[in-house]
Amino acid sequence: QELTTVRVQDPRVHNEGSWNSYVDYKIFLHTNSKAFTAKTSCVRRRYREFVWLRRQLQKNAGLVPVPELPGKSAFFVGSSDEFIERRRQGLQHFLER
């Protein structure tokens, strides 16, 4: 049986404390599918790259619904750690769907 596992983990804040700070996430993929030459892959991606991916999926999805992304926040308000973790979980859910 072919399996593909994707995990969103290890969020990192860049340029913390500046007006252009951002978070990226480690995306880890593992599969035993013969369709993939590399069985594991690991990249870091920002939220805006998930937005791009969702738009591309919507263009090609036809009537198939594309899952929603977690909300965007222009500024880290309250506990940024909690916000980052909620977003990480939302991105994980998006990729699993």
Q: Given pLDDT bands bounded at 50, 70 and 90, which one contains residue 75?
A: low
Domains recognised in the chain with CATH numbers? 4-96 (3.30.1520.10)
pLDDT score, position 15: 87
**Residue-wise DSSP of 50-97:** HHHHHHHHHHHHTTSPPPPPPP--SS--S-HHHHHHHHHHHHHHHHH-
9 pLDDT above the threshold of 90? yes
Q: What is the pLDDT of residues 36-51, one digit of tens each?
A: 899 999 999 999 999 9
Query: What percent of the chain has a predicted confidence (pLDDT) above 90?
Result: 66
76 pLDDT above the threshold of 60? no
